[in-house]
Amino acid sequence: MTRRLTRAEEEIMLILWKLNEATIRDLMGELSDPGTPYTTVSTVVRVLEKKGIVGHKAVGTTYLYHPLLEKKEYLKGHFAGIVSKYFDGSFTRMAAFFARENDLKLAELKELMGEIENKLKEDGHE
Q: What backbone phi and psi angles, to 5 degrees, belong to 68? A: -100, -20
Number of Cβ within a 10 Å radius of residue 47: 16
- pLDDT (tens, 9 = 90+) of the chain, 126 residues, equals 456 899 999 999 999 999 999 999 999 999 999 899 999 999 999 999 999 999 999 999 999 999 999 999 888 888 788 888 888 888 888 888 888 888 878 888 888 888 888 877 887 766
Asked whether 83 and 89 are in contact (CB, 8 A), the reply is: yes
| DSSP secondary structure of 32-61 | SSTT--HHHHHHHHHHHHHTTSEEEEEETT
Asked whether 57 and 14 are in contact (CB, 8 A), the reply is: no
pTM of structure:
0.75
